Amino acid sequence: MNMAFKSWVMDEQMKEEEEQLMKEEAESKDKAKKAKKKCLTCNSPFESKGKFNRVCNDCKRTEYWGTGNDYRVIV
């Protein structure tokens, strides 16, 4: 085989590997986004939308949450 063909084959293999890695990374991010977590306010499990989402919708609907007094110590 000539060098140009070998180089092309290697480039194609690298592209395929990169695409596979990107696909796996996207899948792992989707799994992390939709993880079950415990609410920091009521401690009940809920379906989180991402790492930033730590309080369940039920707790966010309360008047306590709406006033901004959502900081408290959980014992």
Phi, psi angles (nearest 5°) of residue 71: -100, 120
The model's pLDDT over 8-45, given as tens digits with 9 standing for 90+, comes to 888 888 899 999 998 888 877 666 567 889 998 899 99
Residue 33: name the closest of 10, 50, 54 by CA: 50
Cα dist. 67→23, 56, 58, 60, 64 in Å?
A: 42, 16, 15, 10, 6
* Whole-prediction pTM: 0.47
